[in-house]
Amino acid sequence: MTEDQSPENEATPPSRRSIRSFVIRGGRQTAAQQRAMDELWPRYGVEFSAQPVDLDRMFGRQAPRMLEIGFGAGEALLAFTQAHPELDCIGVEVHKPGVGHLLLGAESAGLKNLRVICHDAVEVLQQQLAPASVQFIHIFFPDPWHKKRHHKRRLIQPEFVELLARVLAPGGKLRLATDWEHYAIQMREVIDASASFANDAPDTGFVARSEERPLTRFERRGQRLGHGVWDLSYTRTRSSSQ
């Protein structure tokens, strides 16, 4: 997800959540995106459930799984899913125009290993996904909430990091990217402080952009303007109880 699109999800448990880190922007769905929601959602969409979903049944096979949170228009998710037919991929996004755009791309590519959940990622992580059920988690360009008074709305907070740890299998990878340096530093500090994750670049804190993360149009625009991008990669550690 980019800064120009709907941000995502707040880590506060639903019973206490008074502030959300996502805002449903006023973007209007195109006729094609609405058609995708009407016609393609039954094929790719997964309704939210407060009970853990059976991923083997959902995809019709056993395979490693990747979860992308806040996929925006779905450029990175679509490219990754196409490049990895051996993986099952799940996208979570609250912004319906972005969901519709992804569904159109999935139909065009004939994808069978993609499912989409249009719901608050916090509740998906807490309730719909079973512990240790995915092997990769991607979070690209979450809303940085630039103003200091809004930093509490940022997605990457200690409570949210532990929800990520809950669904990520030991040895799994958490990959993030942002084009806002202050947020990059906060991400690193918050995740480095968690015993559930080990930074894959302990000396610098950041890694080079993976070729598997395509340049989005927003990132290309940022490059033209001289903006930097910071990528992070973490490995889910094994706790003493695992």
**Residues annotated catalytic, as ranges:** 143
Q: What φ, ψ does residue 47 adopt, rounded to 5°?
A: -70, 150
- Residue 186 burial (10 A CB sphere; 0-12, 13-18, 19+): middle
C-alpha distance from residue 143 to each of 72, 122, 208 (Å): 11, 15, 21
179, HSE (Cβ side, Cα atoms, 13 Å): 18
Report d(CA 60, CA 33) in Å as an integer. 27
- Residue 224 burial (10 A CB sphere; 0-12, 13-18, 19+): exposed
C-alpha distance from residue 73 to each of 58, 135, 169 (Å): 23, 23, 27
